Amino acid sequence: MGEKNNEAADDEKLSRKVYDQELKRLHGELVSLQEWIRRTGAKVCVIFEGRDTAGKGGAIKAITERVSPRVFRVVALPPPTEREKTQMYAQRYLPHLPAAGEIVIFDRSWYNRAGVERVMGFCTEQQAKKFLDSINGVEKAMIESGVVLLKYWLEVSPQEQTRRIESRINDPRKIWKLSPMDLKSYGRWYDYSRARDDMFAASDTPWAPWYVVDSNDKRRARLNIITHLLSKLPYEAAKHVKIKLPKRQKADGYVEPEDIRHHVPATF
Report pLDDT digits (tens) over 99-112. 999 999 999 999 99
Phi and psi based region of residue 244 (left: phi greater than 0; alpha: psi -120 to 50; beta: remaining): beta
- Residue 144 in any domain: the answer is yes
What share of the chain in percent tops pLDDT 90?
80
Q: Is residue 7 part of a domain?
A: no
Question: Does residue 163 belong to any structural domain of this protein?
Answer: yes
The enclosing domain of 43 has a CATH number of 3.40.50.300
Mean of the pLDDT values across residues 31-51?
97
CB atoms within 10 A of CB 39: 12
Asked, for residue 16, whether it belongs to a domain, the answer is no
3-class DSSP state for residue 213? strand
pLDDT for 8: 41
Q: Which of 119, 100, 101 is nearest to 49 (CA)?
A: 119
Lowest mean pLDDT among 2-6, 51-55, 79-83: 2-6
> CA-to-CA distance for 36 and 14, rounded, in angstroms?
30
Q: What is the mean pLDDT of residues 18-46?
A: 97
**Mean pLDDT within 227-242:** 90
Sheet harboring 102-107: ordered strands across?
Answer: 72-75, 102-107, 43-50, 147-155, 210-214
Confidence of residue 4 (pLDDT cuts 50, 70, 90): very low
Is residue 85 included in any domain, yes or no?
A: yes
Q: Which residues pair with 49 in a beta bridge?
A: 153
8 is a domain residue: no
Within a 10 A sphere around the Cβ of 262, how many other Cβ atoms?
Answer: 4
Instruction: Please tell me the pTM assigned to this model.
Output: 0.89
Q: How many domains does the chain have?
A: 1
The answer to the question of residue 267 being in a domain is no
Has residue 260 been placed in a domain? no
pLDDT at 126 over 70: yes
| Structural domain of 88 | 30-232
What span, in angstroms and rounded, lies between the C-alpha atoms of 56 and 109?
12
Q: State the pLDDT confidence band at 240, using cuts at 50, 70 and 90.
A: confident
